[in-house]
Structure 1
Amino acid sequence: MSTLVIVVIDGFGVGAMPDAGALRPGDLSADTCGHVLDHCRAALGRPLRLPALGALGLGLVRPHPDLARRTDRPVAVGRAALGYPGADTFAGHQTMMGADFSRVTVAPLAGHLDEVSGALKAAGHLVEPLGERPLLLVDGAVLVHDNLEADPGINWNASGRLSDVSFDRILSVARTVRAVAPVARVIAVGGHADRTLTAYVRDGDGGTVGLDTPASGFYRNGGLQVRHLGASLDHTRQLPDVAARAGLPVTLVGKAADILACDAAVRRPAVATAEVLEHTLSAVRSAVQAGRGAVRGGRGGLVVANVQESDLAGHQQDTERFGSVLEQVDVGLAELTGLLTGPGDRLIVTADHGNDPTVGHAHHTREYVPVLMHRPDASGIERLPDAATLADVGATAAAALGLDPAELTTGETLLSGSSGRSAGPL
């Protein structure tokens, strides 16, 4: 009858993984949490107000003078390696829910222009190269290009201005590209920009070329529409589907509603942090009420929420905005822990990668992420082993819900006294 909530603070890393410098040597200094705390103290003249994250044990995972170094809450704390190549929101969430993304293909668009162009032409589209640059202009309005916000070759985008083309048309282009793309994700993006999108094209790392989406104004101007088309995987062996089959209500909030598959889930897409938190709290209130009304046949439920504005602040290299988002999230976490007080109720706070706004570029950073678990019916603090993959977070959540972690494609439970491991290809 328990309720389990996973809150993903997008881009909130706690220090570089050993291979973080493989693409950009400077990324070995990445530390999103520590650098945001340091910068905000200097800029604001005070430490960030993060009492809920402190009570959840963040200071035990990433020691810092501005974080409490102990807590009297019954928590389990640790950190997780990513378990997939690069640093990417889609791959991070799919892995966290139990998919095996360890062998995702990394492929810049430049190596597949002929194949993609041929598929689009066969589908009836007008396809033009953009000068000598390795990206495509489709129907005079949609750019097919490398995604510059993830590591080179992880994702491709199909982007258009909604004043020029409908989102359905952009999505149609993206689906045709997805059919021949070897990469983890093809993303359809529609938004509003003051100038034509070709004005925002720039070179990325590793020979990639694409749209500078933050510079285009898509994130600032309202009306953003996004659809993530992922590589083929068995969604029935991910946590949301496994929970739904067991009769648990499943709610996906924020970006999680856009990128996770579960036919039975209630979806609450949102970008604004206040809206993400309100949807999450509303879902938890309903789940807790149902779980405690078990005499009427009620169950608790699973809620997975993504806070995206932290990641957007990282891309914009806006450290103070990142800190402001963290303070806003902290207030929401305090409310969540106040709701999740029943036997078996759990809150897991984690991330999908890093996005250090001080590291000198606008890309994700390959960092460990925190794993902070609120467990009101436990006693004391449990220090978790370093997780080899975010899939271990999903397996731990499954076990906490009384589900069999072996139903997931991969992942191992982290808590002592839990068991269950599964492994296998996608």
Structure 2
Amino acid sequence: MTGDGPDGPGGPESAAPTGRTVILVLDGFGVGAMPDAGLLRPGDIRADTCGHVLDHARTALGRPLRLPALGALGLGLVHPHRDLARDTLLPVAVGRAALGYPGADTFAGHQTMMGADFSRVTVARLNDHIDEVTSALKAAGHRVSLLDGKPLLVVDDTVLVHDNLEADPGINWNASGRLDDLPFDGPHGILAIARTVREVAPVARVIAVGGHADGPLPLSVRDGDGGTVGLDTPATGFYRNGGLEVQHLGARIDHTRQLPDLAARAGIPVTLVGKAADILACDGAVRRPAVPTADVLAATLDAVHGDGPDGPSLVVSNVQETDLAGHQQDPERYGTVLEQVDAGLAALVPLLTAPGDRLILTGDHGNDPTIGHAYHTREYVPILIHGTDHPGRLRDANSLADVGATAAAALGLGPDDLAAGTPVVRVSP
């Protein structure tokens, strides 16, 4: 997907980097259902996170959401809602991206966006691979059995290996144990069991979870959607009893072919803000983890201020509270966070005026707070690029990987160095 500039589609290839590139990800911000959104839940074909949040504001607040910065960045050109501006005087290129990975998941979305090849990652229930997982655990010296004939494994009479019930069915698997029974770390701990499962799992994440439960874990096992069976983790008491330990084991990825690591190895300063600091790999990055939107925006502004006007830099920030509002099915909170983001953008955009500066605003999936369930929704996400040499409307991208490739081109890294992705707008010399 490329822009149509004076040099033809996309313009000429990039030369040396000159400015700062900021990627701001609104977690769970979709602009309408993808064609396959209803395959798992038929009602999701009506998902439209952006549109439904705007509609709710008119009803609940009696006024449109105040989003002048998002309007100026071209959101209204991507989503034709009556409350979004259609015109922008800023140098922006705008379009949409399909997700480019299976399901709708924050971890997979960010890894794909940064250039990972997720072609071998699948959506699968544990039962689809239970023989393979059982064999791997037994080969590692563990005792393995089914729990009451259910497609859920009991390892060493203590740890449950099961479908994750808090994400879409088949996205993630868990290895869960009580810390009163065994340690989290160590050669025979919960994490070691999860790592063995990770070696054969085709899904995006295997999550090791250890905590203090109110009772035996099998009492909190229940059926989930889509034929899954797993542990109802909130019901165990893990989240309220303190001492929770969690480690996410992602699908095997060549992080050296992702945008942050490529930039750092090229001597470009990299800052990861918010949830991006937790889920993206880059040994050379400055990490600023945060959840409150005000903190994420402040850290993003600090990173841009600190870089100064000279030389390239990369900042990747994630606003998580939009996603949390979607999970809570709270469209009013979602709208409040969007207005907070808009105010932050109004402060950020004037800082990115040097030649070569870029702001790319996008999402990682949808999370429609009016859809009637707490799962992510499989939606297109916006691509709003400020500072492009070729403003205009872009054709739809096939993958979020194209966002990372666009940033790589702006930084002079050469998008071919990424594992996946094609620039949506190339950079003029």
Determine if contact 1:389/1:411 at 8 Å carries over to the other structure: yes
Is residue 2:106 matched to residue 1:89? Answer: yes
Report which structure shows greater RCO (CA 8 Å, sep ≥6). Answer: 2
The 5 A counterparts of 1:225-236 are 226-236=246-256
1:255 maps to which residue?
275
1:69 deviates by: 1.8
Structure 1 segments unaligned to the other structure (5+ residues)? 420-426
1:31 maps to which residue?
48
1:422 maps to which residue?
none
Q: Measured at CA, do residues 52 and 107 of structure 1 come closer, stay the same or move farther in structure 2, by a change above 3 Å?
A: same
SS of structure 1 residue aligned to 2:169: coil
SS of structure 2 residue aligned to 1:412: coil
- Write out per-residue CA displacement over residues 93-123 of structure 1, whole angstroms, 9 at most, x where no aligned residue: 1111112213422321123334434544555
Q: State which of 351, 356, 365 in structure 1 corresponds to 2:377.
A: 365
Is residue 2:261 matched to residue 1:241? Answer: yes
Is residue 2:175 matched to residue 1:158? Answer: yes
Matched residues in 2 for 1:29 and 1:397: separation? 31
User: Identity of aligned pairs, percent?
Assistant: 75
2:405 maps to which residue?
395
The 5 A counterparts of 1:14-93 are 14-93=31-110
SS of structure 1 residue aligned to 2:76: helix
The 5 A counterparts of 1:94-243 are 94-120=111-137, 123=140, 129-138=146-155, 142-159=159-176, 168=185, 169-189=189-209, 201-212=221-232, 226-243=246-263
Matched residues in 1 for 2:137 and 2:299: separation? 38
Q: Measured at CA, do residues 13 and 124 of structure 1 come closer, stay the same or move farther in structure 2, by a change above 3 Å?
A: same
Q: State which of 324, 330, 335 in structure 1 corresponds to 2:347.
A: 335
2:423 maps to which residue?
413
TM, length-normalised to structure 1: 0.85
Is residue 2:285 matched to residue 1:273? Answer: no
Matched residues in 1 for 2:393 and 2:366: separation? 22
Matched residues in 2 for 1:362 and 1:116: separation? 29
Q: Measured at CA, do residues 240 and 417 of structure 1 come closer, stay the same or move farther in structure 2, by a change above 3 Å?
A: closer
SS of structure 1 residue aligned to 2:298: helix
Determine if contact 2:120/2:202 at 8 Å carries over to the other structure: no
Matched residues in 2 for 1:374 and 1:223: separation? 44
Matched residues in 1 for 2:259 and 2:386: separation? 19
- Write out per-residue CA displacement over residues 6-60 of structure 1, whole angstroms, 9 at most, x where no aligned residue: 1111111100111212222211111111111112321222222222212211111
1:352 deviates by: 1.0
Q: Which range is displaced more, 79-88 or 257-266?
A: 257-266
RMSD after superposition: 2.9
Q: Which range is displaced more, 334-343 or 59-68?
A: 334-343
- Write out per-residue CA displacement over residues 154-212 of structure 1, whole angstroms, 9 at most, x where no aligned residue: 22123457788765454333222212212222123457877776565442222112344
Q: Measured at CA, do residues 223 and 356 of structure 1 come closer, stay the same or move farther in structure 2, by a change above 3 Å?
A: farther
Q: Which range is displaced more, 83-92 or 214-223?
A: 214-223
Report the count of equivalent residues: 409
Q: State which of 309, 317, 324 in structure 2 corresponds to 1:312.
A: 324
Matched residues in 2 for 1:64 and 1:37: separation? 8
Matched residues in 2 for 1:52 and 1:189: separation? 40
1:82 deviates by: 0.9
Matched residues in 2 for 1:9 and 1:191: separation? 30
Q: Counterpart of 2:368 in structure 1: which amino acid?
A: D
Structure 2 segments unaligned to the other structure (5+ residues)? 1-17
Q: State which of 358, 362, 368 in structure 2 corresponds to 1:346.
A: 358
Q: State which of 302, 313, 320 in structure 2 corresponds to 1:301.
A: 313
Is residue 2:27 matched to residue 1:10? Answer: yes
TM, length-normalised to structure 2: 0.85
